Amino acid sequence: METNKEHASQWFKNLRNSICKSFEEIENIYSGEMANSEPGRFERRLWDRPGGGGGEISIMKGRVFEKVGVNFSEVFGEFSPKFQNKIHGAEEDPTFWASGISIVAHMNSPLVPAAHMNTRFIETKEQWFGGGIDLTPTFPDEEETVFFHNELKKICNEYDSSSYDRYSKWCEEYFYLPHRRESRGVGGIFFDQLNSGNWERDFSFVKKVGEGFKNIFPEIIKKKFNKNWSDDQKKQQLIKRGRYVEFNLIHDRGTKFGLETDGNTEAILMSLPPLASWP
Amino acid sequence: METNKEHASQWFKNLRNSICKSFEEIENIYSGEMANSEPGRFERRLWDRPGGGGGEISIMKGRVFEKVGVNFSEVFGEFSPKFQNKIHGAEEDPTFWASGISIVAHMNSPLVPAAHMNTRFIETKEQWFGGGIDLTPTFPDEEETVFFHNELKKICNEYDSSSYDRYSKWCEEYFYLPHRRESRGVGGIFFDQLNSGNWERDFSFVKKVGEGFKNIFPEIIKKKFNKNWSDDQKKQQLIKRGRYVEFNLIHDRGTKFGLETDGNTEAILMSLPPLASWP
């Protein structure tokens, strides 16, 4: 197992590096109306977790990405007695280890969707992978949505033929705001407690999800990032981001979990948009 | 009791009217850098609660008040089985009646604090008043804070000599963001389950809290509303408002309660700022 943990953690870190590089590349090739400003570059900050481990936040504020955060973390220790009962496999032993990568991108252009990707490997008395990718356009676009879901379906089909249906349904149910009676975005895939008994196979799927995000999202960005937008479209985007804030602070399990277990506030709330509106 | 409920509800409605009038008056006398735009005026929207009763939202977007919401509500019915155990006096009988007024003001000027006031009367098998006033400046100002607390102390002292200490401490503990290790603002007063056995005396206190807000907040506004501010001060205000959003969506009991009991989303989230930032 020691080697599995090392492999997973190393993969998440390498993926972080290659995604940051690919996003900086997008900043470079941009030629839209904000092209007079400098291309954005990631800044990194390390943080320590008092109970064990820590992470590294990479943040870029650029001309395509208004704010994008890429978090890598590897944490370990013991869950508090209050929490251990809520965690798979920790009921009798609070010891845990977890590593993952988490990305949230809020774009300058209201025509380009916000995106979120996360993959993680967790070990208690059990061990499993979890993660997902989802897209939040302000102005949903049929062609874009179909392309996005088809690409995810291809990735899932390589794992097994039923996973896309299950994971896209899971995503739809998870990213829902009951008080607004609306979805956060146009869905994607979401999975948790993935352990088929074949670690290499599951790991390979998780790697493909990460690689997939690195390929799919830039394709989506590049289709629209150079187009002009109106003030009214920007206003609509800020309202949509308000809903994003509502979801993350009221419902998101990762956010709740992090805040209630004394996680790194800056890393946890990196997902919040640079600007949001409740007019 | 029928008469008590009518008196309380009528008071909240009248207070709503006089506070709206007083805020429109502030819009009229403003002469700062945004004086070229028209003075704001309240707009009203009625809403029905499916389970019984309803309310009226008054919203103004003006040149002094960037967004101020004044909610009046009178609701009744039965708590869901899930909730009745959490409510004082509803453990055995889920029947309830509640009326109140709730105000949140977000100001254009970052030099003028945001303010919140709420008073309510609730009846289950028990009956009680609750409420409070608190202030959230972006740039705390000793003189302003001292004035604010002194005025609240005067109101509390008319009720009894220990209430200010208790209610201001309650406020400080309530409006606290543990994950940020900071207070939402500079405090104020907060009280709940107020029932001394003398309804008239308690009601009189609640009326003075409402009247007090109507007098104190405009005085605070007028001291600074005509002063110019810098872009950087505005940016700081938007970040402070981000914290306000975090408090309301993660911690505020009224918001949680409303959202989880199928309340009117527009009325509940009226408290959220017109624009907020997580840079």
- Read off the pLDDT of residues A164-173 as tens digits, 9 standing for 90 and up: 999 999 999 9
A57-84 burial, b for 16+ CB within 10 Å, e for fewer? bbbbbbbbbbbbbbbbbbbebebeeeeb
**A–B interface: beta-carbon pairs under 8 A:** 57
- Per-residue confidence band for A1, with pLDDT thresholds at 50, 70 and 90: low
Q: How many CA atoms lie within 13 A of A256 on its CB side?
A: 11
In-domain check, residue B40:
yes
What DSSP line would sit under B13-69, residue for residue? Answer: HHHHHHHHHHHHHHHHH--STTTTSPPP--EEEEEE-TTSEEEEEEEE--SSEEEEE
Whole-prediction pTM value? 0.94
Check CB contact under 8 Å for B179 and A265: yes
Q: What is the pLDDT of residue A73?
A: 94
User: pLDDT tens digits for B138-192?
Assistant: 999 999 999 999 999 999 999 999 999 999 999 999 999 999 999 999 999 999 9
User: pLDDT tens digits for A134-186?
Assistant: 999 999 999 999 999 999 999 999 999 999 999 999 999 999 999 999 999 99
Residues of chain A contacting residue B180, judged by C-beta atoms under 8 Å apart: 265
- Per-residue confidence band for A109, with pLDDT thresholds at 50, 70 and 90: very high
On whether any CB of chain B is under 8 Å from the CB of A146, the answer is no
Structural tokens at position A248: 């993350």
Q: In chain B, whose CA is at the least distance from the CA of A181?
A: B265
Report the CATH number that the domain containing residue B44 is assigned in CATH: 3.40.1500.10
Q: What is the pLDDT of residue B1?
A: 58
Check CB contact under 8 Å for B275 and A274: no
Name the B residues in 222-261 with CB < 8 Å from any A CB: 238, 242, 245-246, 249-250, 259
From the list B269, B275, B278, the residue facing A269 with the nearest CB is B278
Residue A204 pLDDT > 80, yes or no? yes
Q: How many CA atoms lie within 13 A of A48 on its CB side?
A: 3
Expressed as residue numbers, the domain containing A267 is: 4-271
Mean of pLDDT values over A216-220 = 98
Residue B132 region, left (φ>0) first, then alpha (ψ -120 to 50), else beta? left
Q: What is the DSSP letter of A247?
A: I
Name the residue among B229, B271, B278 with its Cα closest to residue B251: B271
CA distances from B154 to B158, B160, B164 (A): 7, 10, 8
Strand ranges in B53-150 using DSSP code E only, listed in sequence order = 53-60, 65-78, 95-107, 114-123, 127-136
Q: Is the ipTM of this complex over 0.85?
A: yes
Residue B205 pLDDT > 70, yes or no? yes
User: pLDDT tens digits for B207-253?
Assistant: 999 999 999 999 999 999 999 999 999 999 999 999 999 999 999 98
- Per-residue confidence band for A86, with pLDDT thresholds at 50, 70 and 90: confident
In-domain check, residue A98:
yes
From the list A67, A249, A275, the residue facing B246 with the nearest CB is A249
In-domain check, residue B277:
no
Q: Name the catalytic one among A106, A116, A149, A251.
A: A116
Check CB contact under 8 Å for A277 and B274: yes
In-domain check, residue A265:
yes
On whether any CB of chain B is under 8 Å from the CB of A272, the answer is yes
Q: What is the pLDDT of residue B24?
A: 98
- Per-residue confidence band for A231, with pLDDT thresholds at 50, 70 and 90: very high
Mean of pLDDT values over B19-28 = 98
Q: What is the H or E stretch that residue A68 is in?
A: strand A65-78
What DSSP line would sit under A30-55, residue for residue? Answer: --STTTTSPPP--EEEEEE-TTSEEE
Strand, helix or coil at A180? coil
User: pLDDT tens digits for B35-85?
Assistant: 999 999 999 999 998 889 999 999 999 999 999 999 999 999 998 888 888
Distance CA A182, CA A178 (A): 7
In-domain check, residue B276:
no
In-domain check, residue B259:
yes
User: pLDDT tens digits for A251-278?
Assistant: 998 888 788 767 789 999 999 999 999 9
In-domain check, residue A276:
no
Q: What is the H or E stretch that residue B88 is in?
A: none
What is the number of structural domains in chain A?
A: 1
In-domain check, residue A221:
yes
User: Is B116 one of the annotated active-site residues of the chain?
Assistant: yes
Distance CA B278, CA B1 (A): 48
Question: What does pLDDT average to over chain A?
Answer: 95
